[in-house]
Amino acid sequence: MGLLSFFSKKKRLVEKFKKILSATYAKIQIIDSLTFDPIGHSLKTKQEIYSSLRQTVVPLLEDWMGEDQLAPKELKELESWLAEKDNPILRELRSMSLFLRGEHTLEPRSRRTLDQAAGSDIRDLAVLLQDLEKTIGALRVIQLEEKVQEQPKKQLPQKKKKNAVPDPENWIVLKGAKWGDHSYPDLLVSIKKGYDGLSFEQTRKRLQHKGCFMLSIRQFFDFILLLESGVVYNAKGERLNKRAIAEILDEIMTAGPQRGEWLNAEFKRIRNILYINEEELLECIMDNGYISLDDLNEQGMPIRKYIQTQIRYVAPQDNSVARFIADSDGAAFCCNVSAAYGGKEFGVRPASFK
């Protein structure tokens, strides 16, 4: 954005802010006897509200009227006041505004009290205060942009990029991806599975201590799809040969002695709604069967059930976690596992940011 555009945009915002402040001040003067609180907070007199707003608005009016320059100190003070946690004045004004828009139901006695409290003026004042917040936010962005524009660009010496892991040849690059509202950056995934025999929580803590983490369901399945594509690179930039890729896939998918790895997914039911990692579980298959990695939602959960495929599926339950296993019957995606269970044959495939 050029300097002329900055000046024009800032000037428009300043004029808008001054108009909102003027209207707010005028509206405060209209409200003569405000003693009503629609949702049960302690009653606030007109004098308390007027005094609080006057202390904030009037100095700004005096500083801003006729001025084209920003007043950072006063702007910061007003911004702080508007953002004050549990601000009783704003809480009451917004509560009244909610009621006037029909979002609260009051007893008839309270409604009569409201009729005496210049209701439309209260609503207008609440709206004006919301406009103040939005305009302040825009002005703060302009200020930050101006600072960036004004700072001279320094040519920093190029530093040699260090590997994110000490043994890059043992880590596979998983390119970042976006699935609906979910996304992740480029990752490094360990070729070797480790931390065998630990519970879900013990595994997670060990990984955090090493600066690593478990793959999410979506990331893990993207990793399998990457291996199946046959185009795989390690963190040194070297392409893996077919034999190396096949060995990793065999460990994950092929029937044989039981083994498996934890995935970063905890399922909990709250008020009859199932959550995954504190996020509401999106629509997916909720009974056992067979699935395909070609039909997953953005959380990595299956959305279509098959008669038979390479991967068995056990649906999530309350207070369970996810694990991908392989045993004598082949591969299975299990979402019903107890977080306390370990088992020496089960571990995790560590991941790190690239």
CA 22 to chain centre: 37
Burial state string for 116-146 with b = 16 or more CB within 10 A and e = fewer than 16: ebbbebbbbbbbbbbbbeebbeebeebeeeb
Same domain? 80 vs 24: yes
pLDDT digits (tens, 9 = 90+) for 144-181: 655 555 555 444 454 444 556 889 999 999 999 999 98
Same domain? 134 vs 53: yes
CA distance 335 to 344: 19
Show the CA angle centred on residue 86, arms to residues 80 and 89, nearest 5°: 80
- Facing residues of 348 across strands? 194
CA dihedral (244, 248, 249, 254) positive or negative: positive
Q: Tell whether 159 is covered by a domain.
A: no
Same domain? 307 vs 189: yes
Same domain? 184 vs 290: yes
Same domain? 177 vs 300: yes
CB atoms under 10 Å from CB of 29, counted, come to 10
pLDDT digits (tens, 9 = 90+) for 176-230: 999 998 999 999 999 999 999 999 999 999 999 989 999 999 999 999 999 999 9
Q: Who has greater pLDDT, 203 or 42?
A: 203
Q: What is the mean pLDDT of residues 128-144?
A: 61
Same domain? 252 vs 314: yes
Q: Who has greater pLDDT, 140 or 158?
A: 140
Domain count, the chain: 2
Q: Lowest mean pLDDT: which of 32-46, 76-90, 262-276?
A: 32-46
pTM: 0.56
Q: What is the mean pLDDT of residues 329-349?
A: 92
Average pLDDT, the chain: 75
Q: Is the pLDDT of residue 68 over 50?
A: no
Domain that holds residue 31: 3-150
Same domain? 204 vs 314: yes
CB 261 within 8 A of CB 204: no
Same domain? 34 vs 113: yes
Q: Tell whether 206 is covered by a domain.
A: yes
